[in-house]
Amino acid sequence: MSLVVGQIVYSSFPRIGYQIFANAEMPESVQSAFVEDIVHKHWDVYEPPPPGYRAGFIHQAHPDHTLFGWLFNDGDDDHGRPHTPYCLSYHLNQPLESDIANFIVQCLQKGPVALIPRHIIPEQPGQLEITSDYEPAGLGVTFTAVQQQQIQEQLQHPSLLQCFLADSGVPTLINEPITKAVEDEFIEPQVWHQPLIHPDLAAPAPAQSVATASGQRTLPTLTTSQQKGDLATLSAGPPSGNPPGQRAVTRKPPSEDLARQIISILDETL
């Protein structure tokens, strides 16, 4: 048996703090149920569980939408603050039948199929296929035979299934503590910037005028390059003192023709 599920995670991520990351197909109502009915309900920020704590859950937000996954106390965040919640959930978009519920319980006992790392800013997760023979990426939560039977009995009732179980095993962090090498290799979220306009393509400066004996006289409009005059240009060959392969920067003198035009205009005004 196998299931194709969506993914959603809530935790503290470098530079952006507490965020959720979910696959694009997941409805907003399901994402809201994940945050409000699982994270906020089962994580007490004032009295958090000890580091290494883990719990498993099955939460029907709708007869055709089931969330199941794990809630961990994953230790310190990137600022050294303790008690970082890490909640990873899978989203099943189909009715929850008896055999599927058994498969989900086995998955919760084995552990996550794959981890969405929190020590870097992750990419948007996609859908995931869970097979019966997958190798878990972390520890799961133990369900007793009685608890599994209670889940099956609850499926026979018209109410939605909502199960949350804290594990009593040895506390273990789900994400390895961050190292300095990893900290220097953060994945930044993609940011779009407005294209820059080259100075020579900018709108010309407005024409200026000066008073002369015969009336107003308009000065020639200068382009951006002419106004700067000393615009840096690259020389073809590397001068002495520069490393091989590097191109040197020289200064371009102001245009002599432009200087003559300005002197001529000023002479007429005197």
- For residues 165 and 105, state if they share a domain: yes
Give the pLDDT score at 10. 97
- For residues 164 and 217, state if they share a domain: no
What percent of the chain clears pLDDT 90, i.e. is strictly above it?
55
Q: In the chain, count H helices and then E strands.
A: 7, 11
Task: State the average pLDDT for the chain.
Answer: 75
The identity of residue 176, as a single letter, is E
Give the pLDDT score at 86. 96
Give the pLDDT score at 235. 34
Number of domains within the chain: 2
In a domain, 192, yes or no: no
Question: Model pTM?
Answer: 0.64
In a domain, 213, yes or no: yes
DSSP code of residue 176: P
CA distances from 131 to 25, 87, 101, 104, 151 (A): 21, 21, 14, 11, 21
Q: Where are the extended beta strands (E) located within the chain?
A: 2-13, 17-22, 54-62, 65-73, 85-92, 128-131, 162-166, 209-212, 215-218, 232-234, 249-251
Question: Which residues form the domain of 254?
Answer: 199-269
DSSP code of residue 230: S
Exposed/middle/buried for residue 59 (C-beta within 10 Å: 0-12, 13-18, 19+): buried
In a domain, 248, yes or no: yes
**60-64, 98-102, 108-112, 166-170: which has the minimum mean pLDDT?**
166-170
- Segment 49-56 shows an average pLDDT of 92
- For residues 159 and 88, state if they share a domain: yes
**24-28, 61-65, 66-70, 221-225: which has the minimum mean pLDDT?**
221-225
- For residues 142 and 224, state if they share a domain: no
In a domain, 46, yes or no: yes
In a domain, 154, yes or no: yes
Handedness of CA 259, 261, 263, 265 (dihedral sign): negative
Please determine, for residue 132, whether its predicted confidence score (pLDDT) is greater than 80.
Answer: yes
Give the pLDDT score at 59. 97
Q: pLDDT tens, 80-93?
A: 888 999 999 999 99
Exposed/middle/buried for residue 220 (C-beta within 10 Å: 0-12, 13-18, 19+): exposed
Tokens, residue 216 = 């107003």
Give the pLDDT score at 201. 33
- For residues 163 and 242, state if they share a domain: no
- For residues 179 and 205, state if they share a domain: no
Please determine, for residue 135, whether its predicted confidence score (pLDDT) is greater than 50.
Answer: yes
Tokens, residue 10 = 């809530």
Determine the Cα angle at 135 with ends 121 and 186, to 5°: 15
CA distance 161 to 64: 12
Give the pLDDT score at 116. 93
Please determine, for residue 127, whether its predicted confidence score (pLDDT) is greater than 90.
Answer: yes
Highest mean pLDDT among 94-103, 166-175, 206-215, 229-238: 94-103
Please determine, for residue 158, whether its predicted confidence score (pLDDT) is greater than 70.
Answer: yes
Give the pLDDT score at 174. 53
Q: Which residue, among 25, 17, 142, 43, has the nearest Cα to 90 in the 3D structure? A: 25
